[in-house]
Structure 1
Amino acid sequence: MHVDALILRRSTRVRQANAGATAVTSPTTPSPTSHLGRSADKQPKDAAPSNGGTRKPPNVDPALAEWVDICTGKKAVFEWVSKQKATALKNFVIKDTWVPFTRMHTEVEVLRAVGESYGFVRYLGHMVLPHRGLEQLALFSNAKNCPESWMCEDWLRVYLDGKEPYFNARVHQLIFYSTVGTSLTAIAHDPWAVAQSMKDVVTALYILFTKGWLHRDVALGNVIPLLDWEENTEDKIDSVWRAFDLDPRFEKLRGMFSHQRSVLSDFDQAVKWGVERAHPPSRSGTPAFLSGARSAAWVLRRDRIDTLFDDLESITWAHFYAVLRRIIEALKPTANEDNDNDNDNDNDSDSDSDDEAIDVDDSDEDADGDILEAGFAELEARHFETFNGDDGYTLTAVKEWILKYGSGDKPIGARVLATTWPLWRRMFRAANAARDIADDFAERLSKEGVPTFGQASAELQTALRQACKDVAFVYLEAINDTLANEFAQYDPFNGPSSDSNDSNPFV
């Protein structure tokens, strides 16, 4: 379908503004609808009449008025950037999601903030789709004040504790990207590509931090490898250097940025780190890829301040799992179904979504045996099994074990991961160093008597910015050391081809 048709099919007459953000109001009038499935002629006396106009349910929180207008089609919202560029595209990506109404603009704000920065998907536009009748759910936003005629017969049986039903208004959002990529497991057979992908995402997360945002959901499905290597121009590399404030440490890393492999996507859960906000004892992100400290806070139901250090650690877990999974698929395809739709975008306190585990084939009772037969060491098999689950306690314990014992010079319990272990041990060391720094800042924040960095002193905020840059360099230097030494033989541009069966241990 043509792009314009896709965007405009929901309204009969559209007034489109010039380039930039565009708010569009559709004059279409919704057809009469009945309340909660009742026929129009049997509505309760206290219901609003069905007169063909836009009708809002009674007792609706005023904060939901805009949401009701979006549901009914009274207000339609979309933005389109660079129409000429879009019409020239052969392919583009549509991200189709239901997001909390309170976070409807979050991802778009992030994409506007990063613009054409290094390591991000390219934003084309977005739209919010109306769903007439959905506005009836707004009744649950103030259920206790609704008349009894609106309650089901078994209300008291369903809500024995007397609490109101929890209502989380959502909108149906489409976001358009011009960046087309593949799954992280598709490149996980190539050590050079894995390390380069980590370099790209570390850089993107740091740039995101400098723009005032934290991602909070770095996961397998949110790291998007490009369809092929993208060669970076000197100007593009210079833009990365400028993002690091022309720090002289970047000079020795410059060669590592000759090519780009991956981009970062999905910013539904992003938050601004420099503003005052609550930090509820709940998680945001996919359980397997949360940092160890975030996992522990989730299990213990403790408050935890979001930091860049946690996002950087999540990069390691996502790529670590991708390599394990790829080897399983290559050596024993039946041990794990190939389904890379792992971007479950689990939500924090703004969401009522149930936790979901990564999709795997649990039908085979001998899966562990299959993994071991495929060549995995026992510990590797246990790691894989743990990361395939969503048990917070087990995930936290395994991550702590790996970070403590996996950062040594010799691989412990590694067989299929032995070749890539130089990368992992460096990443684990970086994560341990970052955690110590994060704990130090948490203590300093506590001494100032404020709960968030948005309320911290200017001195502490400046120190945090410097510490985050230092930690980003720790990760980048670790990756660069691995590429320059143990992984040099896999360099597809200056060494033996990584597609060669002789040079690639995963083929």
Structure 2
Amino acid sequence: MASVLATSTPYKTQSAGAASNRPQDALKALLVWELKDVVFESNQIPTLFFPTQIAETYILPRNSKGLIPVWESLGVLDLEEEDYYLPLISLLNAITTHSKLLARVRFRAYNRRMGNSFDGAGRLKPDGVATDEAHENDKNVLWRDVWIAIEVKNRPSDGLRQALTYARSLLEVGNKWFSMVLHFRPAVTTLRMCFATRHGVFLTPEWHLNRTNDYIKAASCLLQACVALERNAMIDQYHLIHDQTGRVSFRLPVPGMGTFAYVRELHHRIHIVGRATHVYSAARTGDVRTLPDDTSEVALNKKLVDTLERHAPATDDNRRPTRTLRSDTKSAQSSQQTSQQPSQPAASSAIPAMSANSANAAVPANWESLCSNTSSAFFYPDVQQCVIKEAWVVYERFQVEAKVLDIVRGSYALPDIAGYTTVPHPGMERLAHFSKERLASESWRCGLWSEVYSGERTQPRFTPRVHVLIFYKTVGNDLASIIGNAMAVAYVIKDVIIALYILFVKGFLHRDISAGNILALPNVKTHTARQMAGYEWFNLENRFKPFADLIGEQYGFVCDFDQVVKWDEDRVHAAARSAALAFLSTSRLFAIITNDTSVDTLADDLEACIWTTLFVILKQHPEHDLSPIEKDHLAALSSDKAYEVLAAKQLILDLTANPKHRDTHTALRPTWPLWHRLFAAAKTARHETEMVIQRLNEKKVSPDEDELKRVSVDAVFLYLNAVKDAVADLKTSGV
């Protein structure tokens, strides 16, 4: 028998927590932890992102007369950092305008806050930005208008951390596969390019602009980057359409499926390396445009070469011969044709058999193929309204959600899947270079940023991710839409409890109950006694019968199953996974603080339901109406420090039906009959579960699966009883 005490994947601190408007210093500190062991530096990086080389005839010579005052200004030492902004901008513009390749891009110093901000970050202020030349200089720039951001700072680690706060926001525009930031160090006149992706951060070496060879490398890569960014090479051109307001539509890769425009965003979780989940309420539009005929990397490369060669400057006959862009392209095309994976056949409606736990499970295509080809399956092609979940999922698990939903299809408080598709990003497959074995003499560490590695000799680790869209046929609204209705809050918690039970008896744990993963139905769904009698899960336990009236009305459902695992099997763990501290159980928080292992249990998912709902109520309540203790609750739950979050949760769990406890709350007071009962249920369930785990560990033998299952199911009924009694109280009080 497999061990039922398989430990949980360790949690990794990341920047997608519950806090909003963090100071930049706080965000920088989080990024150091988020990027642990996923920062790569290599001479190969420019050619991986931009394989077509720029001929030297396009590059402004370093000794050009017009650059003399620029080099003089950049060569002055011990000035304030802002004194280097204008000469650096002059250099970048001189390089890009000389080539006559780029009609649109313009660099400029930036002396104000950005025009908008993304979740978890305040109004950042880059030192410079590259935008379309038509952008008005007297307006605050929006992140969607920025091609490249610039950071000027002498200390390498601080400059890179700050640069990546901009890269984090840039990635969110169109959910790009990469964003780009320049880091300039005036003390040594070096320039470095930083590429942020969902798989890791990739840094070029520092180029010393005073050295001719380094200057040529920097100028060539800058030109290539600007050409690529002008055609939005990092944005998915084929499935995401951005209108003038910045809203997103999804044009599906399946013939006849048409376009879905999102009605509103229900949830997002923003970071650099990770899933970067977005949840949208969407509706089909009348647009049935098909994809471009050829979206391959070869085709895009050919278009780029044609652009470059149309603007080829006159050459000096005395200049030494150089390799031509056309010959480079032919070589690249020939190489790709010999190594390119065959196209995938159209997906069927059947989900391939696949273990949700296995890191080595068979999948329909290798990762490199998925970067260029779409893998999709649609079970309800005529769906008119849906919820779309967009995420970057670890490659080995990109089909786990579809498999789980196929197993629980149509079950109570669980969504019906309409289909799924992967989103290709041609060119991204070149990053597989970092999944190969290194030469003994080669290092991919950034020597000037040692704090992002877990050990002195730790090498970064490449974790490929797949851009996935999941379409739920079940339509829902964000949880905040029902918080003003105390009875609806109680019923939604009941729905989550039932959904977690159904998953559990099928062998699964959700492991990611959080805001955005609990959605409210637009209308109450009724389940008759006859229907319930036919539910398999309802008949597994006679204890469900007293709850028939409660179960008869459904207000919400659970979604997002990327993190689901089999609770009763050993499994291969990823290096780490991320989660918002505000929603984690006290047991998982304690494991994070003590750097210890923990066991995934149903008690953790049930407790997470409490914290998710409670947090959303506090967050959505007008701040001026929160009581002093509720303001402290919210501040602590929004913290990025696990110790502070755990301390607050332990205090909250000790609150009781005592009128003094109730009356110190305003936002939570209407639902207090629910909270004090759930707090008691959570403590009892946690105690009973931990006692079983302790006994099983002390036996030092193969554990009894039935014992852990029994205590987990008992926890479900502890929670259901709490909700049932609370609903009775709420009805008595006329709520």
Asked if these proteins are the same fold (TM beyond 0.5), I'd say yes
Query: If you compute each CA radius of gyration, which structure gives the higher value, 1 or 2?
Result: 2
**Corresponding residue for 1:7?**
253
1:278–1:255: structure 2 CA closer, same or farther, 3 Å change rule?
same
Alignment of 1:36-435 (within 5 A): 50-53=334-337, 55=339, 66-73=366-373, 76-81=374-379, 83=380, 86-87=381-382, 89-142=383-436, 144-145=438-439, 156-157=447-448, 161-240=456-535, 242-277=536-571, 284-328=578-622, 371=623, 374-404=624-654, 406-412=655-661, 413-435=664-686
Work out the CA distance in 1 between the residues paired with 2:394 and 2:325. 30
Which residue identity lines up with residue 438 of structure 1 in the other structure?
A: T
Residue 248 to residue 468, structure 1, CA distance change in 2 (3 Å): same
1:113 positional shift: 1.5
Partner residue, 2:726: 482
**Change over 3 Å in CA distance of 1:56–1:162 after alignment to 2:** farther
2:389–2:471 contact (8 Å) kept in structure 1: yes
Give the CA deviation at 1:4. 12
Cα deviations across residues 3-57 of structure 1 (Å, max 9, x unaligned)? Answer: 997232699xxxxxxxxxxxxxx998651788xx9996797xxx98744416379
- Structure 1 CA distance for aligned equivalents of residues 402 and 677 of structure 2: 34
Distance in 2 separating the partners of 1:327 and 1:474: 28
Structure 1's 282 and 398: CA in aligned 2 closer, same or farther, altered over 3 A?
A: farther
| The structure with more strand, counted as a fraction of residues | 2
1:463 pairs with 707, 713, 718, which one? 707
Q: Structure 1, unaligned stretches of length 5 or more?
A: 12-25, 329-370, 451-455, 491-502
Is the CA contact 1:129–1:172 (under 8 Å) kept in the aligned structure 2? yes
- Structure 1 counterpart SS, 2:475: coil
Q: Secondary structure at the match of 2:519?
A: strand
How far apart, CA to CA, are the structure 1 residues paired with 2:378 and 2:400? 16
- After TM superposition, the score normalised by the length of structure 1 is 0.72
In 1, are the aligned partners of 2:673 and 2:729 still within 8 Å (CA)? Answer: no
The structure where helix makes up a greater share of residues is 1
CA distance in 2, matches of 1:178, 1:249: 31
Q: Which residue of 2 aligns with 1:368?
A: none
What residue in structure 2 maps to residue 356 of structure 1? none
Q: Secondary structure at the match of 1:415?
A: coil
CA distance in 1, matches of 2:695, 2:340: 49
TM-score by length of 2: 0.51
Distance change in 2, residues 1:239/1:312 (3 Å): farther
Identify the residue that residue 233 of structure 2 maps to in structure 1: none
Is the partner of 1:99 in helix, strand or coil?
Answer: strand
Distance verdict in 2 for CA 1:471–1:284, change over 3 Å: farther
> In structure 1, which of residues 31, 46, 50 is the aligned counterpart of residue 298 of structure 2?
31
Aligned to 2:458, what secondary structure does the other structure show? coil
Q: RMSD between aligned alpha carbons?
A: 3.6
Counterpart Cα distance in 2 of 1:6 and 1:264? 25
Structure 2 stretches lacking a partner, 5+ long: 1-238, 240-248, 258-292, 306-322, 342-359
Secondary structure at 2:593's aligned position in 1? helix
Q: For the structure 1 residues 146 and 282, does the alpha-carbon distance in structure 2 shift closer, same or farther, using more than 3 Å as the test? A: closer
Given the superposition, is the C-alpha separation of residues 105 and 488 from structure 1 closer, same or farther in structure 2, using an over 3 Å criterion?
farther
SS in 2 for 1:485: helix
- 1:233-254 deviation line (CA, Å, top 9, x unaligned): 33432245x4144433222211
Q: CA deviation at 1:174?
A: 1.1
Higher mean Cα deviation, 47-56 or 381-390?
47-56
Amino acid at match of 2:685: A
Superimposed CA distance per residue, residues 58-79 of structure 1 (whole angstroms, 9 cap, x where no aligned partner)? xxx9x99811121133xx4211
C-alpha contact 1:422 1:482 (8 A) present in aligned 2: yes
Moved over 6 A (4+): 26-29, 37-43
Q: Give me the whole-angstrom Cα distance separating, in 1, the residues matched to 2:336 and 2:730.
A: 70
Aligned equivalents of 2:524, 2:731: Cα separation in 1: 17
Contact conserved, 2:478 with 2:519, CA < 8 A, in 1? yes
Contact 2:689 2:712 in 1 (8 A): no
